[in-house]
Structure 1
Amino acid sequence: MKTFSVSVHETTNPAIIKFELNQFITKYQSFEFHNIDEAKTSPLAQQLFYLPFVKKVYISANFIAVERFNIVEWADVQDEVAKQIEDYLNNDGVVVIEAAAPKKTAVTVYAESTPNPAVQKFVANKKLVTAMFEFTSIDDAKLSPLATELFHFPFVKSIFIDENYVSITKYDIAEWQDITLELREFIRGYIEQGKDVVRPEASEALGKTTVQIDETFEALDDVSKEIINILEEYVKPAVASDGGNIQFQSYDPNTKTVKVILQGACSGCPSSTFTLKNGIENMLKEMLKDKVEIVEAING
């Protein structure tokens, strides 16, 4: 059963609010409607146009962006609109009529090397997931049909999926020059068929919805929150470009020790320990005076 939850996000344009969903509502397609007549192919957009302040509706992957007329402020109506969208989807409301959907744009996937010689990053021109996922065996990949199929390749050791890319860690039995093309074409074909990369319930089951992440964050102590914010702003963008992630696990105020989990290309990477000791550890020591002494890394 698909259970949709909606979170509200401001955009750089004060007239536009983004209603983000915990799962995908289109198969790698986007739609823009300027009025109720244009929205004949989208019952969801038509529902929104019944609200007198709705000027434009944009539907994509896992969000709906709505532009308002100036007769209201978003602060006064956004929660009501979010609930309307949530209720509509949870009552099996149709987002876009399949037959009327435009022809899918071509899917492209390119391979990119990472600092970890055992990991290759496969980047698509489509958003693949709404949260970050790592699978280290076929047993724990039950919530990802794509990861499950990739584990049928004997040389696939672990899989990390984020935003628009899949990072694959290989066993030593194969060389990248022999398997990259096969993996790239497999992933491209899989996405092109519109199959689920992860199951709709995956984010909620693994505690990765926006609401769950926010609740976990709010339950932490102030220093842990500061550490997470520093990692998010200064560390994650750099490691994401290399096909990996560094996830906060814990902070011990007595020993002043921070534990982080290395994922994707960062996991088992020869340069990870060096990077942590000389980069992240020094950064946390500098920015959180007397609160952090040691950073320990755990391979995901």
Structure 2
Amino acid sequence: MFIETETTPNPASLKFLPGQTVMDSGTREFASPEAAEASPLAQAIFDTGEVTNVFFGGDFVSVTAAPGVEWTALKPQVLAILLDHFVSEAPLFAPGTAGGISVPAETADELLVEERAEDADIVAQINDLLETRVRPAVAGDGGDIRYRGYRDGIVHLQMQGACSGCPSSTATLKHGIEGLLKHYVPEVVEVRAA
């Protein structure tokens, strides 16, 4: 088995491509060792002591190194962990955890702002654009974007994986995504990071 690696716009993150499906549907982010307890793979990567984020996409795993950690030392460790996991065909999530069920970003309990019923068409347009135009591009950079709400012309989005904390994420949100949404959904006046 050969695992490819790709750089991401975030210099602290690398994208690992095992050449097979990682998540059947959805994505999953682990931003702490405690969160990683749901996944033996994420936990093993956090156990290196040099990682601040692990993100599972459809066909990739992105890993963010802790501040001051050099990838020259960390990359072989992560590759070995990934290789062991995928060769052994171990489960991605611990038995009995909800880890295998990716919660849709649009669930009401995760919304940052309370949405109004009269905005349902606008929200549907925003989510369609995010799903068809934005999410594939962001996944190419080792991350994902989660919709967190819309109210009074303001769209709240959360960057995940390699895109979370990336130096260019603000520019991506403000110049790329905001411009796209404003163009196709005139009611959008601003995009904010959640």
CA contact (8 A) 1:285 1:293 kept: yes
Correspondence for 2:22 = 128
Letter in 2 for 1:115: P
Give the match's secondary structure for 1:248: strand
Q: Equivalents in 2 of 1:207, 1:189: separation in Å?
A: 27
Give the match's secondary structure for 2:132: helix
Give the match's secondary structure for 2:38: coil
Correspondence for 1:161 = 56
Correspondence for 2:47 = 152
Correspondence for 2:166 = 269
1:237 pairs with one of 118, 129, 136: 136
Letter in 2 for 1:172: P
Q: Equivalents in 1 of 2:88, 2:62: separation in Å?
A: 20
Q: How far is 1:114 from its partner?
A: 0.4
What RMSD in Å do the two structures reach over aligned CA positions?
Answer: 2.2
1:225 pairs with one of 112, 117, 124: 124
Q: How far is 1:173 from its partner?
A: 2.9
1:294 pairs with one of 184, 190, 194: 190
CA contact (8 A) 1:144 1:198 kept: yes
In the alignment, structure 1 residue 112 sits paired with structure 2 residue 6: yes
Q: Equivalents in 1 of 2:178, 2:127: separation in Å?
A: 13
CA contact (8 A) 1:155 1:173 kept: no
Letter in 2 for 1:186: I
* TM-score between both structures, scaled by the size of structure 1: 0.57
Q: How far is 1:202 from its partner?
A: 2.1
Task: Provide Cα deviations, 1:152-184, integer angstroms capped at 9, x if missing partner.
Answer: 111111110011211001112311122212211
CA contact (8 A) 1:129 1:198 kept: no
Letter in 2 for 1:293: V
Give the match's secondary structure for 2:133: helix
Query: Which protein is bigger by CA-based radius of gyration?
Result: 1
Q: How far is 1:283 from its partner?
A: 1.0
State the aligned residue count.
Answer: 182
Q: Equivalents in 1 of 2:157, 2:49: separation in Å?
A: 29
Consecutive unaligned residues of structure 2, counting only runs of 5 or more, are 111-116
Runs of 4+ in 1 over 4 A off after TM superposition: none
Q: Equivalents in 2 of 1:274, 1:263: separation in Å?
A: 15
* TM-score between both structures, scaled by the size of structure 2: 0.86
Q: Equivalents in 1 of 2:183, 2:82: separation in Å?
A: 42
Give the match's secondary structure for 2:166: coil
Task: Provide Cα deviations, 1:43-97, integer angstroms capped at 9, x if missing partner.
Answer: xxxxxxxxxxxxxxxxxxxxxxxxxxxxxxxxxxxxxxxxxxxxxxxxxxxxxxx
Q: Equivalents in 2 of 1:296, 1:186: separation in Å?
A: 36
Q: How far is 1:189 from its partner?
A: 1.4
Consecutive unaligned residues of structure 1, counting only runs of 5 or more, are 1-106
* 1:185 to 1:203, Cα distance in 2 relative to 1, 3 A: closer
Give the match's secondary structure for 2:56: strand
Identity rate, percent:
35
Letter in 1 for 2:74: I
CA contact (8 A) 2:41 2:81 kept: no
Using CA pairs under 8 Å that are at least 6 residues apart, name the structure with larger relative contact order, 1 or 2: 2
Give the match's secondary structure for 2:32: coil
Letter in 2 for 1:110: E
Correspondence for 2:91 = 196
In the alignment, structure 1 residue 172 sits paired with structure 2 residue 67: yes
Q: Equivalents in 1 of 2:155, 2:65: separation in Å?
A: 29
CA contact (8 A) 1:239 1:266 kept: yes
